[in-house]
Structure 1
Amino acid sequence: MKKTLNIIVLFLLFGCAKEEAVPVIVDFDFDVFNEDFSIPVQVVFFNRTEGAEEYEWRFEGGSPSRSVNRNPGVIRYEAKGVYEIELIGTNQDGSRDSKILEIQIDDPVIVDFEITNLVDNFSPAVYTFQNNSSGTNSYIWTFDGGAPSNSRDRNPGEVIFTDPGDHQITLEVSNGRETYELQKTITVAPLLVSDFEFQPTFEDDDYQVPVSVQLQNNAISATSYEWSFTGANLSISTEENPEVIFTEPGMQTITLKASNGKDVKTIEKNIEVFANTNLRTFTDIRLGINTAHTANTVGSFFSISTRQVYTNTEVTNEIEKNIDLVFFGLNQTFTRNKFVSPDQLSETTFAPLQEAKNTIFINSQELCNCSASLTTQEFDAMQNDALLKNLSIEETPGGLQNFDKETVPRIVLFQTEDGKKGAIKIKDFVQDGQNSYILIDIKVQKEPVQ
């Protein structure tokens, strides 16, 4: 009986106890990818709710706009604005709770600007800047080397750069939460310099009038040029690199005035030109015997126009048209030597030339039985072509005779196909086996004189 009574008492105590509901406490937070609140914006949410079994998310302005998952994944925002985010949590006990947060979505931040050069980039160079940035409300300009050096205006107006070289332009923009920066570079041209070089043409490198000279303009940061010359065929030129002919002997002046519209710089240089002797001189020319020429060690062919000695393989179809003098040395002991006309190489061991010139030679003045005569002393003293132009050079059987090395120095006279008269002074017979050669000087008219 007592045991039954205890059971009844326990039933009354526990059977009548009230059941407690589980409360719901909603909580969440979020992260914005890369802390970038400028559209498009991607947001991930972290649900920290307690006691809930069901969830309802509402994303104003978001995509998707609703979710019933505990963790809704990534929500995307495509338009600027301030939007509410609400989470509602419930459970089977009827408990309910909610939380609302706001997120501010900004316009995309674009930082961009254009640079305009006023007039030109010569120092002092003036630039303006067009700010094309968007989604921003504050600006910080920095102008490296500029005046002013910085600005907080959206469009800073004119900035002056004086120092030549590269200058960095920096624009920093902000929308209050995010900051972006863009850098560009301008180049201020070097300071104006007036300078030039001059070089006579190949034919006029003896500086005897008329001297044709090519000017090489080395001015820096110039846009216009004014040349002036003394003793020349023209007194003024505005070409960048003119060619001028000096016609008067003496010390002449070349002046270059360079300008860029902001500054002018002038430089003068002198050039000394000489009276025309109509005489060109070549010294220490080596002409090899036939074996040296054939072996391509010391050439036997000489061109007055190119001023070069040519070996066997160097005589191309183009070169052979310019050959004026051919030396034929039979052997290293120089027992038989002579100068021969380029068009008469059949008398030698050299291969004939296809487009050869004709040159008249007097190899042996002592045997020529002719009026032409020139001594070593006269050759050495010759400063112009007066002696040469009075010579009557003609070929004779005696004048064409071979010579040996016994007479040193020896003078050989010649006349080219175009009528230029000249003389060769053989100074030495150099024995070097198969590579033996003669050492000569040549004096020849630059232009034929009738």
Structure 2
Amino acid sequence: MKKTLLLLLLLIITSCYKETFIAIEGDFTTSYVSGDQSVPVIIKIDSKITGADTYHWEFEGGNPSTSKDKNPGEVLYANQGTYTITVTMTNVDGESKKISKTVVIKEGITIQFSHQIVTSNYSPLEVAITNTTPGEGLIFKWDFQGGIPANFSGKTPPNVIFTEPGDHTISLTVSNGFENQTETQTVTVAPHLISSFTYTPNFEDDDYQSPVTINFKNQSASAMQYNWTFQGGNPATSTAENPVITFSNPGQHLVTLVASNGKVSQSFSSTITVDPDTNLRVLNDIKIGINSAHSNNVGAMFSTITRQVYKAGEVNNQNSSLIDIAFQGLNSNFTYNKFISPDQVSNYGFLSLNNAQKTIFINSQGGCNCGLNFTETQFDAMTNDVPLQAMNIIYSAGGAQEFGFTYPKVVLFKTQDGRKGAIKIKNMVKNGANSYILCDIKVQKQ
């Protein structure tokens, strides 16, 4: 009876059981981590799939390339392109399902370009551009400030011309459809060519009397080559940047400089006037101090070679041998005055001079008994050295004697190298210890 009941219960339970089938359902999504779509790119996989017992993921171009995890998480893509993500799923009921999606990985942007100046940076400046920016599918936009052309779209632009002097920018903007990057470089166009020069004579030729040697100073801008012509000059032509030229003959001499930079050239001219040689050096308004002034503000010694007055503290081994005029003014009242030879200054209260010059002075033309009577009027009228040539300037005690507070007055002299000259005292300025005489001096050059 019990067995019959158990069997009956088993039949009832068996007849009530019905098998349930679980299907594979759902999907997965992909997203860009941090929104970054350009390489390197990380794709996040978010699986919402149910009903599967096994998973086989394939990540074309990705790292990792496969996975068996239900939710594989993140995949790294290092190269640009369009890639397929595929998952194949199965379950115990024998069902199999495959889902595929694509992701687009955009090229990363690393701008690399350079520019080279063709020939030189003088206007018109030509620039060649080399673009080595890596990647495919990029968009290139160029802007050339002040250039011809002003802009260009494409990987490699044509050569660009800049004409205006100054700084100009070359800008490259690169886009991958997701982001843009810009890099800027600068080219500088040199100023427009200007041909110009100045000139100064040698120190001994500053009166522009023939022969005169001129030092030319090139003031050209943006020039590379120089072609000079010197009318009446020696040499007559030059390609030096700063030539030195001698003009031997009086008259007007045209000087022309053609400056060029390999692209353009420009000419500039100036006329130099050379006067006839008078063999007379004219020095005006020379202040020579008394003995006490020599140690303070006004020197008592003068050089007709350097044309400079020297105070006690300015005399040195380099200039002492060039001093050829010395003055003794005993006091500020000018009661005792005389010009003295530089080799005799130590006898009159001055320090001796090294390699001192011997100069003969005729302080008193009337006392020298030498037949000389050169007046202030003759001094003023002297325009060349002819009046000096005939003068017999020799030492005499009478001619060397002192003089008092008397002006205008003419003192004659002869230097150790044989040059003759005249000093006209125009004024005697009483200023205490800094008293001085004001002179004009005319002396032979040779």
TM-score normalised per structure 1? 0.81
- Label 1:35 to 1:317 Cα distance change in 2 as closer, same or farther (>3 A): farther
Comparing 329-338 with 100-109, greater Cα deviation is found at: 100-109
Alignment check: 8 A CA contact 2:125 2:161 kept? yes
Q: Distance between the aligned counterparts of 2:68 and 2:327, measured in 1?
A: 106
Distance 1:153 1:71, change over 3 A: closer
CA deviation profile, 1:268-307 (whole Å, cap 9, x unmatched): 2112211010111111111111111112x11111122221
Name the stretch that deviates more: 248-257 or 170-179. 170-179
- 2:441 equivalent in structure 1: 442
Structure 1 segment 78-157 matched on structure 2, within 5 A: 78-82=78-82, 102-137=102-137, 138-157=139-158
Distance 1:370-1:157 versus aligned 2 partners, 3 A rule: same
Instruction: For 2:294 and 2:70, locate their aligned partners in 1 and report how far apart those are by CA, in whole Å.
Output: 100
Deviations 1:120-174 (A, max 9, x none): 3333333322221111432222222222222223222233333333322222223
3-state DSSP class of the match of 2:343? coil
Residue 394 (structure 2) aligns with = 394
2:417: which partner in 1?
A: 418
Q: Which amino acid aligns with 1:395?
A: Y
1:404 to partner: Cα distance:
1.1
Q: Supply the distance in 1 between the matched residues of 2:149 and 2:422 (Cα, whole angstroms).
A: 75
How many Å apart are 1:77 and its aligned residue? 4.5
Q: 1:28 & 1:316 partners in 2: Cα distance?
A: 97
After superposition, the Cα gap between the structure-2 partners of 1:67 and 1:374, relative to the gap in structure 1 and judged at 3 Å, is farther
What letter corresponds to residue 427 of structure 2 in structure 1? D
Question: Over aligned residues, Cα RMSD in angstroms?
Answer: 3.7
For residues 337 and 99 of structure 2, the distance between their equivalents in structure 1, rounded to whole angstroms, comes to 119
* Separation of aligned partners in 2, 1:371 and 1:231: 44
Structure-2 residue corresponding to 1:235: 236
Q: State the distance in 1 between where 2:145 and 2:426 align.
A: 70
| CA 1:396–1:37: 2 relative to 1, 3 Å | same
- C-alpha spacing 1:273/1:69, structure 2 compared with 1 (3 Å): farther
Structure 1 contact 135–175 (Cα < 8 Å) conserved:
no
Q: Residue 259 of structure 1: CA displacement?
A: 2.7
Deviations 1:208-231 (A, max 9, x none): 111111112222333322222223
Partner of 1:299: 299
Alignment of 1:257-336 (within 5 A): 257-295=258-296, 297-336=297-336
Contact 1:26 1:88 in 2 (8 A): no
- Structure 2: how far apart are the matches of 1:81 and 1:133? 17
Amino acid at match of 2:440: D
**Superposition map of 1:198-277 within 5 A:** 198-277=199-278
Q: CA deviation at 1:353?
A: 1.8
Relative to structure 1, is the Cα distance of residues 59 and 318 closer, same or farther in structure 2, using a 3 angstrom cutoff?
Answer: farther
Secondary structure of 1:343 counterpart = helix
Equivalence for 2:341: 341
SS of equivalent to 2:294: helix
Equivalent in the alignment of 1:162: 163
SS, match of residue 344 in structure 1: helix
**TM-score normalized with structure 2 length:** 0.82
Whole-Å separation in 2 of the counterparts to 1:377 and 1:245: 35
Contact 2:359 2:413 in 1 (8 A): yes
2:289 aligned partner, one-letter code: G
Inter-CA distance 380–36: structure 2 relative to 1 (3 Å threshold): farther
| Partner Cα distance (2:441, 2:151) in 1 | 73
Report percent identity of matched pairs: 43
How is 1:70-85 mapped onto 2 (pairs within 5 angstroms)? 77-82=77-82
Say which SS state the counterpart of residue 210 (structure 2) adopts. coil
Which residue of 1 is the match for residue 376 of structure 2? 376
Taking the aligned partners of 2:68 and 2:214, their CA distance within structure 1 comes to: 88
1:429 maps to what in 2? Answer: 428
In the superposition, relative to structure 1, how do residues 382 and 59 fare at CA in structure 2: closer, same or farther (>3 Å)? same
CA distance in 2, matches of 1:174, 1:127: 24
Give the CA deviation at 1:367.
1.6
- How big is each residue's C-alpha offset from its partner over 1:412-446, in whole Å with a ceiling of 9 and x where there is no partner? 11122222211111111111111111111111111
Change (3 A) 1:59 1:356: farther
> Cα 1:84–1:422, aligned 2, differ >3 Å: closer, same or farther?
same
Q: Which amino acid aligns with 1:178?
A: E
Deviations 1:92-139 (A, max 9, x none): xxxxx9997654445543322232333333333333222211114322
Shift in alpha-carbon separation, 1:82–1:371, aligned structure 2, 3 A: same
In 2: Cα distance, 1:280 partner to 1:78 partner: 88
2: distance between equivalents of 1:64 and 1:303? Answer: 96
**Matched AA of 2:433:** Q
The 8 Å contact of residues 343 and 357 in structure 1, kept in 2 or not, is answered as yes
Q: 1-side partners of 2:414 and 2:101: how far apart?
A: 110
Cα offset, 1:69, TM superposition = 12
Q: Does the Cα contact within 8 Å between 2:210 and 2:249 map onto a contact in 1? A: yes
| 2:13 counterpart residue number | none
The 2-side partners of 1:249 and 1:50 are apart by 110
Cα distance between partner residues in 2 of 1:320 and 1:98: 111
